[in-house]
Structure 1
Amino acid sequence: MTDHFQQLYEQSDDPWQVRQRWYEQRKRAVLLASLPAPHMRHIFEPACGNGELTAALARQADRITATDLSPAAVQLTRDRLAGAAPGRVSVACQRIPHQWPADALFDLIVISEMAYYLNAAELEQLRQRCIDTLAMDGALLLCHWRHPFADRQQSTESIHGVFDDCPDLHRIARHDESDFLLDVWSRSPRSVAQREGVSP
C-alpha cells in the first residue's frame, strides 16, 4: 500500500484533484464548518496527502501535526506549509495506526478518507489511539467517501459505527449525504450551543 501511494504522489502532486474539484472544495468547507470551536491548540491530521486540508486546518490552530505513509506526500505537505505557518506545523512519515505521535494530546483529530484502508483490528487500534490522545474537551472528526472502490476494506457506515459504539465518545455533529459521511465526536456530550452558553 505504501508503494501504491508513493507512486501516485510521484506521478502527480494532486492525484485526487483536491484543489480543483468543487466536490473536494465543498467537502473541505463542510468539514471546517463542522468543527466545534473556531480555534484549537493542537490538531492531528493523519493521512494528510498533499496538505490542502492541512493548510486550512493550520489557520485554526496554534499547532498542527500531520503525517502520511508516503514520503512524497509528506514532502508535498511540507512544501505547501513552508511559508504559511512557520514553526507551528510538524509533518512526518508514519503508518497509522501502528505509528502515532508520542506523548501528544490533541484538541482535534481529523481522520479523513483513510480509515477504509484499514482492517477490523487496525480500525480498533485507530479508535483506541484516538481516545488515548484526545483532550478532555477535544473533538474527533471522521469524514469518508461512501461509494465502493478497489482498495476499500470496510464500508464507511461500519467504520463510523465503530466510533459510535464507543462509550467514551459522544456524537455532537453529523453531515450525511449520498457521497460522503462526516461525524464529529467528543468526550463531552455538550453541543456547540451549550459550550457557548446559548443552550441549557
Structure 2
Amino acid sequence: MSRPRTPDAYFDDMYRGAEDPWHLAERWYERRKYDLTVAALPQPRYRRAFEPGCSVGELTRRLAVRCDAVFACDRVGSAVATARHRTRDLPHVEVRRMVLPEEWPTGSFDLIVLSELLYYLDDATFDRFVRRTVASLEPGGTLVTVHWDHPVPEHLTTGSGIADLLAARLELDLLADHREEDFVLQVHRRRGPDGRRAISVAAEEGLV
C-alpha cells in the first residue's frame, strides 16, 4: 500500500452520478454479504456500534437490529443524506458526515464494523486508522472487517492483504475467518487488559 490514499474526489464523483453508485440495495451479492456480516457477530446484542464509511446505510439498517445504538458516518454528504433517509425510522441510529481518521467520534464502542473501507488507505493512514479503531474498541469488543478480494485500480490492496496486516495486531484475536472467491470477512475480538485470549462462542456458553 505504498501509493497515496484514494483521493476524496473519487468518492465525490461516484456519488455525483448516482444516489447508490455501487447498487448496494439492489444486488444480491451485496445483500447476501451484509446478511453474512451480521450473522457472523459473536454476541447476540451490542450496546453501541460504530460503522465508518456507511455509504447509503444498507448495512447500517441490519446492524441496528442487533444494537442498542449505532453511530454511522461517511465522508460524502450525499451518501450521508441517503443513509439518514433510509434509517429515518430508527431513532437509535445516528448518521454523520465525518472525514476519518482526521475526525473521530467520542466515546467507546463494543462493536466496530469496517466494510469495504481499509483498502482505500495508504500505509500511514491505514496504521493511524487501525490504531484509533482499536483504541475506541472496548476490551472484549468485536471488530468486523469485510472487503472485496479482487484487484481494483482504486484499491491499494485486497481483502486478503488487509487480513495479513490485521494479523500483526497483537491486541486482536481472530474469532472467524470467512473467505470466498470475492471477499474476505473476518471477526476479531480485542483482548482484555490482562491480555487473555478470546474464547469461542460455544466456550462462552459452556459447550466446550
TM class, shorter-length: over 0.9
Give the corresponding residue for 2:199: 190
Q: Helix, strand or coil: the match of 2:164? A: helix
| 1:46 is aligned to 2:46 | no
Q: Helix, strand or coil: the match of 1:62? A: coil
**Contact in 2 for aligned 1:45/1:110 (Cα 8 Å):** yes
Partners in 1 of 2:139 and 2:13 — Cα distance?
39
Shift of 1:19: 1.4
| 1:2 is aligned to 2:8 | yes
> 2:122 is matched with which residue: 119, 122, 138?
119
| 1:57 is aligned to 2:60 | no
> 2:110 is matched with which residue: 107, 110, 114?
107
Larger mean Cα displacement after TM superposition, 136-145 or 157-166: 157-166
> 1:78 is matched with which residue: 67, 73, 84?
84
Identity of aligned residues (%): 37
Shift of 1:130: 1.2
1:5-26 deviations in Å (ceiling 9; x for gaps):
2232232222111111111111
| 1:142 is aligned to 2:145 | yes
**Contact in 1 for aligned 2:146/2:185 (Cα 8 Å):** yes
Runs of 4 or more above 6 Å deviation: none
User: Which amino acid letter does the alignment assign opposite residue 78 of structure 1?
Assistant: R
CA RMSD of aligned residues (A): 1.2
Q: Helix, strand or coil: the match of 1:37? A: coil
Partners in 2 of 1:157 and 1:96 — Cα distance?
22
| 1:166 is aligned to 2:169 | yes
TM-score normalised according to structure 1 size: 0.93
User: Which amino acid letter does the alignment assign opposite residue 192 of structure 1?
Assistant: V
> 2:157 is matched with which residue: 151, 154, 157?
154
Q: Helix, strand or coil: the match of 1:139? A: strand
Q: Helix, strand or coil: the match of 1:18? A: coil
Partners in 2 of 1:119 and 1:4 — Cα distance?
15
Q: Number of residues paired by the alignment?
A: 196
Shift of 1:157: 2.0
Partners in 1 of 2:103 and 2:61 — Cα distance?
23
Unaligned runs of 5+ in 2: 1-6, 192-197
> 1:98 is matched with which residue: 72, 96, 102?
102
